């Protein structure tokens, strides 16, 4: 989808040269990849742990670093929306005058034929959309419906452009100049806005609490590998969200001072009357700490950077790094991972899919609904119970059991690690372009909501690439397999009793398959999923996505 052309590599390298970016050019080259666009390739063998790229946060394109940063802050616009608006101003208003132009000009949102890159929710060809109806992209992520967040974002951006024009006398970017346009023309502008957002979010990284999302030169050229990524994106994420400082800064001191005042005022009986001297001592202590941590930062050595062009005075914690985690051989393409993403999510966020994607899944929501409609009154009662309360209880029980097991594993690992030396790297591994195409809507895995999810109980019904059911779907099948007596014995709406009972719903995949009754229930549900007929005239992304769903369901059918 969003691919860089070979002729743009020189602009990228110019920007690198002029912006204190450390790039291991002695061992790497940017050239055409078989996957499309540009990729990053090794020109010599490189061992794991080397840093391939170090970019000061001040050289990352973020809303905070952009020319219109103040206007965005004043308007309280942040996240991906701020990044998209800032990008549009740099490339369409400031152009050559922009500090960022040499880099941002290389980011395309239209293809060579002038067609906009659009996510499935905004495909203009109705047939293309139709081919994806009923797929996981549709049923699990609602990824074929226009996104209200994007459309609200567009209207916020248009209003802001008018405000900026009157306050700062800046021209209104064409994309936001909607006054006097008819609905059709406004829709075209909206589509272009969607396309810009889709393109930049397919290559942006989560930087830190201050910058939020940003475009990191060269880091955004690594293509995605599902199973064995070679690099890791590293950034100190926990910085002051007001100024971006690592460690104690004036804002944090002020915040801690405020908290201290509140604490002192809250507990007069313990601490006595509010004591200014006590508080000033506390503040001085914090200020001293800050000086200390600044010194520490300056001393931070840079051992693994093998580039000859090491720039003096760069503070590693104020940079983001791309670190190699695998050994790579001369001539190989070096890959990042954008996350363990199904084809539906890859298509929605990045505009491509992967053949034989081990992270692919098929959502069974539609089949479960149809199965439920045809079920007997007895089974319907169980399904209603599961929908109303069962799945929530089971989810909480299952998660707590899993975290207990993880804690036990960690304790065991810690015991084993006690003899081994520590790595010492405190940087966050905010890996990959795990960020959204529409900014506020598609989000980091597990942290925020993906699109408008239909309903959690259905959302958890899916089958993975190995033909395995999710724990909640397994439990659902087990519930349906109870005979009348077992169900009556199990059924309760008393939360205290339920906590103890839900554990008997636990089932694993091999137990499901070895039991005739549970296997039959699964077959009955899967029977509501028709096999996709692969349309000859569909594009390759659609063909791969549909074939992958067929492959996953065939595995269940054949068992
Ligand atoms: C962050 S960019 C990577 C660099 C990109 N190749 C370029 O030329 O700018 C992400 C885009 O690269 C392409 N891409 C990355 N990994 C891919 C893969 N495994 N298969 C197909 N396309 C991929 C997609 O077009 C995606 O939207």
Q: Whose CA is nearest to atom 15 of ligand 1?
A: 223
pLDDT digits (tens, 9 = 90+) for 169-214: 999 999 999 999 999 999 999 999 999 999 999 999 999 999 999 9
pLDDT digits (tens, 9 = 90+) for 3-24: 899 999 999 999 999 999 999 9
Asked if pLDDT for residue 453 goes beyond 80, the answer is no
Q: Could you give the 3-state DSSP secondary structure of residue 327? A: coil
23/319 Cα distance (integer angstroms): 13
Report the separation in Å between the CA atom of 398 and the middle of ligand 1, taken as the mean of its atom positions: 37
What rounded mean pLDDT belongs to the chain?
85
Pick the atom of ligand 1 nearest to 226's CA. Answer: 19
**pLDDT for 312:** 64
Best mutation site among 6, 9, 29, 35 for ligand 1, i.e. most ligand atoms within 8 A of its Cβ? 35
Percent of the chain topping pLDDT 70: 84
**pLDDT for 416:** 73
From the centroid of its chain, how far is CA 81?
15
Q: pLDDT-derived band of residue 289, with 50, 70 and 90 as boundaries? A: very low
106/120 Cα distance (integer angstroms): 24
Query: 103: Cβ below 6 Å to ligand 1?
Result: no
Which stretch of DSSP H or E encloses residue 361?
strand 361-363
Average pLDDT of the residues in 361-380: 94
Which stretch of DSSP H or E encloses residue 38?
strand 38-42
Best mutation site among 218, 349, 350, 541 for ligand 1, i.e. most ligand atoms within 8 A of its Cβ? 350
Report the separation in Å between the CA atom of 375 and the middle of ligand 1, taken as the mean of its atom positions: 45
Query: 32: Cβ below 6 Å to ligand 1?
Result: no
CA dihedral 258, 260, 262, 263 (to 10 degrees): 160
Asked if pLDDT for residue 313 goes beyond 90, the answer is no
Average pLDDT of the residues in 287-315: 48
Asked if pLDDT for residue 271 goes beyond 80, the answer is no
In contact, 91 and 102? CB cutoff 8 Å: no
82/89 Cα distance (integer angstroms): 11
**pLDDT for 418:** 67
Q: What is the DSSP letter of 97?
A: G
Pick the atom of ligand 1 nearest to 335's CA. Answer: 16
Q: What is the DSSP letter of 387?
A: I
Pick the atom of ligand 1 nearest to 38's CA. Answer: 8
pLDDT digits (tens, 9 = 90+) for 387-446: 998 999 999 999 999 888 888 888 877 777 666 544 433 454 433 454 333 333 333 322
Asked if pLDDT for residue 294 goes beyond 70, the answer is no
**pLDDT for 404:** 87
**pLDDT for 425:** 39
**pLDDT for 439:** 30
Q: Whose CA is nearest to atom 14 of ligand 1?
A: 223
Region label for 319, one of left (φ > 0), alpha (ψ between -120 and 50) or beta (otherwise)? beta
**pLDDT for 207:** 96
């Amino acid at each position: 989808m969003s691919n860089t052309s070979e002729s743009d590599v020189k602009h990228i390298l110019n920007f690198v040269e002029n912006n204190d970016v450390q790039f291991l050019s002695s061992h790497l080259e940017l050239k055409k990849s078989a996957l499309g666009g540009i990729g990053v390739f090794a020109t010599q063998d490189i061992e794991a742990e080397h840093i391939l790229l170090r970019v000061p946060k001040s050289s990352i394109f973020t809303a905070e670093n952009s020319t219109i940063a103040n206007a965005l802050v004043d308007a309280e616009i942040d996240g991906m929306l701020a990044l998209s608006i800032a990008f549009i101003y740099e490339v369409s208003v400031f152009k050559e005058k922009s500090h960022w132009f040499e880099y941002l000009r290389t980011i395309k949102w239209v293809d060579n034929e002038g067609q906009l890159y659009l996510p499935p929710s905004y495909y203009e060809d109705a047939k293309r959309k139709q081919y994806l109806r009923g797929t996981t992209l549709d049923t699990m992520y609602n990824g074929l419906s226009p996104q209200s967040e994007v459309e609200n974002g567009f209207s916020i951006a248009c209003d802001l452009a008018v405000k900026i024009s009157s306050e700062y006398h800046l021209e209104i970017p064409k994309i936001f100049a909607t006054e006097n346009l008819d609905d059709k023309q406004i829709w075209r502008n909206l589509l272009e806005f969607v396309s810009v957002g889709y393109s930049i979010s397919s290559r942006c990284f989560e930087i830190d609490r201050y910058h939020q999302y940003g475009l990191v030169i060269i880091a955004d050229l690594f293509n995605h590998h599902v199973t064995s990524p070679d690099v890791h994106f590293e950034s100190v994420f926990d910085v002051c969200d007001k100024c971006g400082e690592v460690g104690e800064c004036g804002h944090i001191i002020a915040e801690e001072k405020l908290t201290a005042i509140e604490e002192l005022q809250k507990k007069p009986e313990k601490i006595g009357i509010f004591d200014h001297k006590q508080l000033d001592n506390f503040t001085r202590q914090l200020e001293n700490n800050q000086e200390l941590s600044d010194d520490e930062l300056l001393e931070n050595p840079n051992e693994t950077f093998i580039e000859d062009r090491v720039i003096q005075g760069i503070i590693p914690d104020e940079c983001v790094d791309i670190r190699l985690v695998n050994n790579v051989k001369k001539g190989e393409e070096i890959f990042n991972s954008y996350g363990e993403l199904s084809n539906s999510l890859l298509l929605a966020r990045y505009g491509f899919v992967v053949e034989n994607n081990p992270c692919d899944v098929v959502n069974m929501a539609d089949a479960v609904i149809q199965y439920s409609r045809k079920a007997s009154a007895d089974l319907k009662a169980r399904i209603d119970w599961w929908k109303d309360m069962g799945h929530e209880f089971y989810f909480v029980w299952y998660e707590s059991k899993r975290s207990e097991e993880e804690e036990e594993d960690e304790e065991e690992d810690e015991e084993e690690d006690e003899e081994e030396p520590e790595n010492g790297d405190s940087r966050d591994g905010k890996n990959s372009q795990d960020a959204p195409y529409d900014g506020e809507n598609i989000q980091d895995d597990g942290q925020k909501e993906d699109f408008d999810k239909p309903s959690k109980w259905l959302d958890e019904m899916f089958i993975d690439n190995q033909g395995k059911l999710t724990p909640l779907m397994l439990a659902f099948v087990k519930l349906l397999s109870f005979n009348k007596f077992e169900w009556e014995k199990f059924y309760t709406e008393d939360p205290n009793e339920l906590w103890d009972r839900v554990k008997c719903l636990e089932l694993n995949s091999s137990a499901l398959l070895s039991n005739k009754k549970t296997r039959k229930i699964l077959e009955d549900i899967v029977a509501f999923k028709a096999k996709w007929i692969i349309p000859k005239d569909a594009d390759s992304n659609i063909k791969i996505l549909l074939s992958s769903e067929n492959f996953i369901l065939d595995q269940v059918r054949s068992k």
